[in-house]
Structure 1
Amino acid sequence: MDSVAVTSTPRGSGVFRIVAVLVSMAMAVVAAGCTSSPTNSASGQKHTLVVGATVEPPSMDPFHNSAAAIPQALLYNVYETLLKVDSEGALRPLLAQAWEISPDQLTYTFHLNPAAKFASGAAVDGEAVVANVNRLKNDPTITETLRAQIDLVVSAEAPDAGKAVITLSRPSVMWLYEMASTLGMMVDPTSTAALATTTAGSGPYQLKQQNKGTSVVLEKNPSYWGTPARFDEVTFRYFTDPNAMNASMLSGDLDVISNLQAPDALSQFSDTSRFTTISGTSNGEVVLGLNHDNPDLAKLEVRKALTMAIDRKALIDTIWNGQGTLIGSMVAPTDPWYEDLSGTYPYNPDQAKALLEQAGYPAGKLKLRLRVPVIPYATKSAQFVASQLREVGVETTIEELDFSRWLSEVFTNGDYDMTIVAHVEARDLGKFANPKYYWHYDNPQFQQLYEQADAAGEAGAVPLMKQAARLLATDAAAIWLFSLPNLVITKSTITGVAPNETSLSFDLTTLAGR
């Protein structure tokens, strides 16, 4: 059988970088100050965009830090990938004009765009792709997520300048989607600058400066190889208070809120002569994560009891203005293997008390620390959860952490019992197959089933992924609170904002101002 040439794949969007919203969720992205006309060479007027966000990137290096705020600003805008996920969740050409997959689904051949080049002028050729793959494979300090993804790669070769051939150790449905995200970001191999403070990409923008605590500023790459950037300068401005961001939008300082972090404020933007409201879907599963290294939480009866103690529908109505979708496993509604599993362990506080008693935890005996990042959905959810757990006799202590501290203490060091964060990567069911991930969930049955699903090909994966998702739900591996909506508010002068959040990127390449 001949290999199959691929220029796109069927839709199937769903990767922690935490997220963000973590991060993409944790972030409310905003575009602003962009109602002026494009730069006029005579007047020198700049066409600018200001992007407001909830979570500030702790670094500009996406390979050694899991904050979703980093690729939110840099993916596709500064660092391009061989292929990208479009607004419908389909894979499209970017640095690669086309790609082929061998019949055994192990070898991927990418045909590179001969015009593609880095901001330095160096070519994005086969050797550059190989250098990027080898850089990650040989770096023991990259994030745990990237390590799991790059470990699938056996070899990378460049038969000629226009081609890169990558071979995997086993078939993987997910791998191409991972290559369209952080794993596939191409960094200029000729650059020796520190990626934490300097960018070296091939995209239409490059880093101008990072102002710690306030903003990240991107500027137009004057030598971009593709369609030129529509804005001369883009500023991501960070807000810890969603009401302050709303106020900035209402006062005209911002042009877009890409993911509204105060859904009860929707009515403030009802004037259609000034604002446009877009309601779409996202990849953000808001997860009440459980640390399975805690002996109490390692007991299924306890996890089931905690799940049944929380009225998740009331939580959405109370803390998120009814916006969002109930889910019962690590699958967003946009994933091809989604099914509603939210009723697996329905709200039943009396049954929750009984389960706790059976497990040896009478009222007041089970004491848990709930450590959450200071992000609106997380802090609001934490208060609701603690109140509901108190009703079934579980004492919960809440501790709010700034996001960098959360990443260090909770995500990296596992110092927590429970936490709440939105996982915004596409198709991220496989996070539970990695026992080193911060949940420390180690279920060999799930790991084997997920690997079988990932190796089953696009069509064969769906029933197996559904089976894996059901296993997670019945094992109460976590408590899935809800799936975040993608609520976008724009000024009427801004166009091109995608309604659905299908990747970690706030894709500036589609936006325009008039």
Structure 2
Amino acid sequence: VKWGEDNTVQPNLAEKWTIDPAGTLYTFKLRPNVKFSNGRTLNAEDVKFSLERACDPKFASPTAGTYLTDIIGVRERLAGTAKEISGIKVVDPTTVTIQIDKTRPYFLGKLTYACAYVVAKEAVGTAGATMTKPEQMIGTGPFIFDTIDSNRLVTLKAFKEYHEGAPKVDRIERPVVLDAVTRLNMYKQGQVDLIPLERQDVKAIQADDKLKGDLKFFDRPSTWYVGLNCNLLPALKDRRVRRALAMAVDRKTIVDGILGGQNVIATSIVPPGVPGHRENVAGVPYDVAGAKALLAQAGYPGGKGLPEIELSYRDGRPDVELVAQALQQQWKEALGVNLTLQ
């Protein structure tokens, strides 16, 4: 399955599926004559193999344990106590069933993630091996890996037998450019056709007669949040500490002052456009006095005794760094909490 443009799950390799009355048994009927990029026809055994490969403990997928553990038998496969995933059954060459542990309305959405992609068994190599060469990267998508220089450039060519029709673009070159300024300069010089634009560059582009017509805005179904690892810092296991930190974040200042008002304040984890989003959620209020009181109740008045918190953030995105720096300042000024950034 895949995400559609309307942000709903749509058929892809499976042309249709049914769910039993209990909501736990999914039966997928594969499209006929879907081709891998090596010319072989996809079958149900490929689906089973690919999911079991992603859950092979030798492969050590960083995402399979998050996205696939609803499937019965995945935990055992990840732990190395089972060679197969018991909840995945091949019924016939074009039919596969997946049994999950309980009713989960969001399960199909999880199957859109990369750890559920179907690959050709004969191409990937030995068990647990990571695909590093184009000849190993045999899938069913609209493009085929052509060349890979992981630190510089990835090129792809059109797969003419793609099941939804041959792509309209014959070739894609994807430069690996981590620095936002360099990306923008490459666009200005005509070296690339498309870039994500940093917020701080928007006004300059809007004032540029040559470039302003190229600027397109899209709502992005994503949320910026701070994840607190309670296992690394036991103090965070106290709900009062976590809530105090949340209450000390001035989201309005971050969105309007630091980010120029181009973002929307998040009051819940599910963003607009994603099923489950709720409008008019109050969320955790910005309340410095209340945050101080909670932190003191937890045994850390003025932040005293609370270990330093280390915040890791995504490199190469200036706005992410600005938000991290704002959190560092707000928590220090409001609560006396020390935050180090990396």
TM-score by length of 2: 0.82
SS in 2 for 1:278: coil
- 1:103 partnered with 2:27: no
Cα contact 1:327–1:340 (8 A) shared by 2? no
Name the structure 2 match of 1:268: 204
Kindly indicate whether structure 1 or structure 2 has the higher relative contact order, using CA contacts under 8 Å at least 6 residues apart: 1
Please list the CA deviations of residues 90-140 of structure 1 after superposition, one character each: whole Å capped at 9, or x if unmatched.
222221222222222222222222220111222111222222233334446
2 CA distance for matches of 1:292 and 1:144? Answer: 19
Name the structure 1 match of 2:107: 175
- 1:321 partnered with 2:260: yes
| Structure 1 residues 342 and 272, CA gap change in structure 2 (3 angstroms) | farther
1 CA distance for matches of 2:290 and 2:70? Answer: 44
Number of residue-to-residue matches in the alignment: 316
Equivalence map 1:391-402=2 (5 Å) = 391-400=333-342
* Residue identity in the other structure for 2:321: T
CA RMSD of aligned residues (A): 2.5
CA shift, 1:186, in A, is: 0.5
2 CA distance for matches of 1:90 and 1:343? Answer: 26
1 CA distance for matches of 2:16 and 2:209? Answer: 41
2 CA distance for matches of 1:311 and 1:241? Answer: 28
Equivalence map 1:343-358=2 (5 Å) = 343-358=282-297
Aligned with 2:318 (options 372, 376, 395): 376
Cα contact 1:126–1:163 (8 A) shared by 2? yes
CA shift, 1:280, in A, is: 2.6
Q: 5+ residue gaps in structure 1?
A: 1-82, 401-514
CA shift, 1:315, in A, is: 0.6
1 CA distance for matches of 2:150 and 2:3? Answer: 30
Name the structure 1 match of 2:121: 189
* Residue identity in the other structure for 2:110: E
CA shift, 1:383, in A, is: 0.9
CA shift, 1:148, in A, is: 4.3
Cα contact 2:145–2:155 (8 A) shared by 1? yes
Q: If each structure's strand is expressed as a fraction of its own residues, which one has the higher value?
A: 1
Please list the CA deviations of residues 122-177 of structure 1 after superposition, one character each: whole Å capped at 9, or x if unmatched.
21112222222333344464435412443333433333222222232322212211
Aligned with 1:277 (options 194, 215, 229): 215
CA shift, 1:285, in A, is: 1.4
CA shift, 1:384, in A, is: 0.7
CA shift, 1:224, in A, is: 3.6
Please list the CA deviations of residues 264-319 of structure 1 after superposition, one character each: whole Å capped at 9, or x if unmatched.
32233336875343323223211112121212222222222222222111111233
2 CA distance for matches of 1:309 and 1:187? Answer: 46
| Structure 1 residues 311 and 230, CA gap change in structure 2 (3 angstroms) | same
Please list the CA deviations of residues 209-236 of structure 1 after superposition, one character each: whole Å capped at 9, or x if unmatched.
2223223222223554441122232122
* Residue identity in the other structure for 2:46: A
SS in 2 for 1:354: helix
CA shift, 1:393, in A, is: 4.1
Name the structure 2 match of 1:29: none
Name the structure 1 match of 2:81: none
Q: If each structure's helix is expressed as a fraction of its own residues, which one has the higher value?
A: 2
Name the structure 2 match of 1:411: none
Structure of greater Rg: 2
* Residue identity in the other structure for 1:238: V
Equivalence map 1:10-25=2 (5 Å) = none
1 CA distance for matches of 2:256 and 2:295? Answer: 27
SS in 2 for 1:109: strand
Name the structure 1 match of 2:84: none
Aligned with 1:297 (options 236, 254, 267): 236
Name the structure 2 match of 1:86: 4
Please list the CA deviations of residues 310-332 of structure 1 after superposition, one character each: whole Å capped at 9, or x if unmatched.
21111112332212221233211
* Residue identity in the other structure for 2:246: T
Name the structure 2 match of 1:332: 271
